[in-house]
Amino acid sequence: MRASTADRATYEFRVLTLPRTTSGGDVRRLLTDEAEYGRWELARTRIYIGGTRKVWLRRKVLRVTSTL
């Protein structure tokens, strides 16, 4: 059974590019803060040859229906 378009979650994305000089602990702390306070979740992580990290975060877009 397929979900209708109203049932599907719509996400907004945020891409963070972190330099290679950023330590693993700092990256973990940054992502934890984003998840806890900004309600972002980790969608994808990519580490490039030079050591640069690109992190994709996502969160649900809340649709508010008018009650008036």
Residue-level pLDDT at 19: 96
Report the pLDDT value the prediction gives residue 25, as an integer from 0 to 100.
94
For position 6, what pLDDT does the model report? 56
b/e sequence 26-64, b meaning 16+ C-beta within 10 Å: eeeeebeebeeeeebeeeeeeeeeeeebebebebeeeee
Token pair of 34 as six digits? 């984003």
Report the pLDDT value the prediction gives residue 51, as an integer from 0 to 100. Answer: 93
Q: Are 43 and 16 in contact (CB under 8 A)?
A: no
Euclidean distance between CA atoms 57 and 51, whole angstroms:
19
pLDDT tens digit at each of 68 positions of the chain:
555 555 577 999 999 999 999 999 999 999 999 999 999 999 999 999 999 999 999 999 887 888 88
- The Cα–Cα gap between 34 and 55 comes to 12
